[in-house]
Amino acid sequence: MTSANHRTHVYIGLAGEGDNIGGGGLYRRADGDEEWQSITNGLPANPQIRSLKVHPEDPSVVYAGTQQGVYRSDDRGDHWEALEQPRQGMDVWSLAMHPQDPKTIYAGYEPCGVYRSQDSGETWSKMNTDRVVFPHLTTYMPPLAKRVIGLALDPSNPSDMYGAIEVGGLLGSRDGGESWESLIDGPYLRNNTLDLHGVAVSAAAAGTVHIITQVAMFRSRDRGHHWEHVQVDEMFPGGSYCRGLLVAPDDPKTMYLAAGAGGGGAPQGTQEAGALFRSRDVGETWERVDLGETASSRMFQIAIDP
């Protein structure tokens, strides 16, 4: 979301994955408009939009992650231009901006890779992931895609970065993204706690990292060295299917969690449901937000107008 001329603009990207690629697209609606407007001029055919980022100082500049790399618009999505991409066939799943230098942008890809631009997306460099060793599953599972589904920088120390991998745990960098290594390793019986869907770091708690998985939320208070289970109301026996995690842009102590039941680690036959949770103390305690009605499917993402 962003405001310009006292109007709020909302962007929604559509995408699928694997064999379930359907009709993609990108839509925008301004405050006061009655209908959503398709804004795909210049984007690839059937654009799969899995990540969006609005420039914090110039809301006319918007970045979109697609199945053909990163695109940029300088007019709130009316026109798009393709930026340099590493190579064909790499999907962008996440975008992040340096909190002190919005010209520096990070993109997370599938297959697993992190790229950085220091000139507003004109050129990109591949970050070093040679030291990444994904956790080992002791039970047989078919090969799983390794995609960087979420990226986060510590606002208090932007040299500390984190990348959530679906499915493969958490990556960490201590040098501003130059090199990466696994922060969650060792053998695991199942993939439910390795199937990450998001990562967040708040300016109100330097060094504290929250991650969300298909069954629960976890927290580290020491930059990813040790982890603890964060207690949130369970939406099915064994946990909640966590999909979206956000630190409020106007209050770093406030965090939101989008969760649900059905799919993931939920027992077969679990009825689909969704819920929004909120914390006002940087994730120490959580409460369910009354939405006025019950969501009939898992809740995936959250956006806040700052």
Contact indicator for 35, 48 with CB cutoff of 8 Å: no
Determine the pLDDT at residue 2. Answer: 44
Decide if 277 is inside a domain: yes
CATH number, domain containing residue 160: 2.130.10.10
Decide if 72 is inside a domain: no
Q: Let me know if 144 is exposed, middle or buried by CB neighbors in 10 A (0-12, 13-18, 19+).
A: middle
Note whether 251 and 211 are same-domain residues.
no
- State which of 201, 230, 259 marks the end of a domain: 230
Note whether 195 and 284 are same-domain residues.
no
CA distance 52 to 15: 12
Note whether 175 and 298 are same-domain residues.
no
Contact indicator for 69, 90 with CB cutoff of 8 Å: yes
Determine the pLDDT at residue 20. Answer: 60
Ranked by mean pLDDT, which of 129-133, 170-174, 234-238 comes out on top? 170-174
Over 70: is that where the pLDDT of 138 sits?
Answer: no
CA distance 33 to 227: 45
Decide if 16 is inside a domain: no
Note whether 89 and 222 are same-domain residues.
yes
Token readout for 283 is 């994730």
| Biggest CA-to-CA distance, the chain | 56
Note whether 203 and 290 are same-domain residues.
no
Residue 251: partners with Cβ closer than 8 Å, 6 or more residues away: none
Note whether 128 and 174 are same-domain residues.
yes
Contact indicator for 78, 90 with CB cutoff of 8 Å: no
The domain of 216 spans: 84-230
Decide if 252 is inside a domain: yes
Averaged pLDDT for residues 204-221:
92
Note whether 224 and 250 are same-domain residues.
no
Decide if 286 is inside a domain: yes
Contact indicator for 201, 219 with CB cutoff of 8 Å: no
Note whether 205 and 153 are same-domain residues.
yes
Note whether 91 and 184 are same-domain residues.
yes
Q: Please name every residue paired with 92 in a beta bridge, in sequence order, or none if there are none.
A: 109
Q: Based on the structure, what is the number of domains in the chain? A: 2
pLDDT category of residue 274 using cuts at 50, 70 and 90: confident
- Give per-residue pLDDT as tens, 182-202: 887 655 556 677 889 999 999
- Give per-residue pLDDT as tens, 148-161: 999 999 999 999 99
* Model pTM score: 0.88
Decide if 45 is inside a domain: no
Decide if 137 is inside a domain: yes
Averaged pLDDT for residues 87-95:
86
- Neighbour tally for 58: CB within 10 Å: 12
Average pLDDT, the chain: 86
- State which of 195, 230, 265 marks the end of a domain: 230
Nearest to 283 by CA among 228, 214, 224, 243: 228
What phi and psi, each to the nearest 5 degrees, are found at residue 213? -130, -175
Residue 112 is classified by DSSP as T
Note whether 226 and 297 are same-domain residues.
no
Note whether 175 and 300 are same-domain residues.
no
Over 90: is that where the pLDDT of 272 sits?
Answer: no
Decide if 13 is inside a domain: no
